[in-house]
Amino acid sequence: MTNHYVYIIYSASHDVYYKGYSTDYTMRLEQHNQGKTTYTKNKGPWKLVYAEELDSKKEALIKEKILKIL
């Protein structure tokens, strides 16, 4: 069974939040901090400020969209 998460990370150096979806948010945070993602590259270091597990990918993607509106 696959876990589905939404997460929020924060970069103090750029005072910016990033909201995303992943099946492994800890690995995804490492990718953000290693500069392996387009939007967050060169904006780190990133710190996890929120993560929530949801029952399905569909629910997680809906929640991600809601978080991005806020």
The pLDDT assigned to 34 comes to 97
pTM over 0.85: yes
Give the pLDDT confidence score for residue 30 in this predicted structure: 97
Q: What is the pLDDT of residues 19-31, one digit of tens each?
A: 999 999 999 999 9
Residues with pLDDT less than 70, the chain: none
Distance, in Å, from the CA atom of 3 to the CA atom of 52, rounded to the nearest integer, reads 10
pLDDT for residue 9: 98
Residue entry with tokens 């750029």: 14
Output the pLDDT for position 70: 83
What's the confidence (pLDDT) of residue 1?
83
Q: What is the pLDDT of residue 39?
A: 92
| Cα separation of the two ends of the chain | 30
Count CB atoms within 10 A of the CB of residue 67. 17
